[in-house]
Amino acid sequence: MTAANNLFYDCDMWLAPVSGSSGSGWSFIDNIFDNVGFHGNGPVAVNKYNGYVGVSPPHLSPATETGTNPNLTSLGYQAGALGRFYLPSTASTLLGHGSRSAGLAGLYHFTSRVDNTKQATQASLTSSFMERKAE
């Protein structure tokens, strides 16, 4: 299972590997975990470039963590045309700091910002919305 460019918001996450797998097939890349409680004993094989908001200090499978994994005490999302979880332009540790280019992540024509700025270079740490053309 791969979870990439997602927002996990105000939830509990239980990690229990399928019998015999020990979590070796799990990948968590370029996600935001906002007020998430981690439970279970499942190690994650690939765990990098995830942002943590209000999570102190337990991270998802800390023994396998690589890359830049910023910790934020809070994050104020903005409402936009396609949802209420756009990143503010001040979220500099999350915007454009993903592990892959926007093109390789399939997010070249997507945005994480309410001002509709495309992720033209590096992907951001979070879910993304389709860029909207001016009407």
Question: pTM score > 0.85 for this model?
Answer: yes
- Which two tokens mark 112? 């994480």
Comparing 55 with 103, which gets the higher pLDDT? Answer: 103
> What is the mean pLDDT of the segment spanning 50-63?
84
Q: Which residues contact 122 (CB under 8 A, 6 or more apart)?
A: 96, 97, 98, 100, 101, 102
**The pLDDT value given to residue 60:** 87
**Separation between Cα atoms, residue 60 and residue 87, nearest integer Å:** 22
Convert the pLDDT of each residue in 8-47 to its tens digit: 999 998 887 776 666 677 889 999 999 999 887 677 888 9
Confidence of residue 114 (pLDDT cuts 50, 70, 90): confident
State the residue for tokens 């943590």. Answer: 52
Comparing 113 with 57, which gets the higher pLDDT? Answer: 113
